Amino acid sequence: MSLPLESVYQELILKHYRSSAHRGEVEEPSAAVAERNPLCGDDIFLTVRVREGIVEDVRFSGHGCAISQAAASMMCEHAVGKSWDEIHRVADRFRDLMHGSEEAARDRALGDMRALAGVARLPRRVKCAMLGWDALAEAEKQAAE
Ligand code: ZN
């Protein structure tokens, strides 16, 4: 599998893709969301457990390209233990990153997700990288109902 991204980043992406600590389903989910990206054939099934406004656990399953699965894994890593406000801040920064923001690419708050900065140069893959975040936004709506 080859991606037009720098090799150190590529390794990090493939690490998340091949063996994510966040694969599976949470127990007693507050929300369960299926998201599809028909442009690339990516599927994500996300389950989230929320207690008192904090995302206690979030896990994903599904299949698709390395970018979609790695980005979902990185998203889960960031969301666990956070409030929705904190998650929104990171989600907005990640969206900036996908729009090519160099400032976002230097933002340590994004952690491993900065490895996906090169995706901004591949407009058709941005949806792959956003799929997990889109699922999480939908899960937030469900959990609030
Ligand atoms: Zn994809």
pLDDT in the model for residue 9: 81
DSSP state of 27: S
What CATH number did the domain enclosing 125 receive?
Answer: 3.90.1010.10
Environment of ion ligand 1 (residues, CB < 5 A): 40, 42, 65, 68, 128
Q: What percent of the chain has pLDDT over 70?
A: 96
pLDDT at 2: 53
d(CA 98, ligand 1 centre) in Å:
14
Give the tens place of pLDDT for each residue, 11-66: 889 999 999 999 999 999 999 999 999 999 999 999 999 999 999 999 999 999 99
> What spacing in Å lies between the alpha carbon of 100 and ligand 1's midpoint?
18
Distance CA 102, CA 42 (A): 27
Give me the mean pLDDT over the 89-118 stretch: 94
Total domains present in the chain: 1
Ligand 1: centre distance to CA 51 (Å): 31
pLDDT band of residue 96 (cuts 50, 70, 90) is: very high
Provide φ and ψ at 135, rounded to 5°.
-65, -40
Q: In angstroms, what CA-CA distances link 49 with 7, 79, 119, 131?
A: 35, 11, 29, 19
Q: What is the domain extent for residue 129?
A: 5-144
68 alpha carbon – ligand 1 mean position (Å): 5
Residue 128 C-alpha to ligand 1 middle, in angstroms?
4
Is the CB of residue 83 less than 8 Å from the CB of residue 140? no
Total-model pTM: 0.93
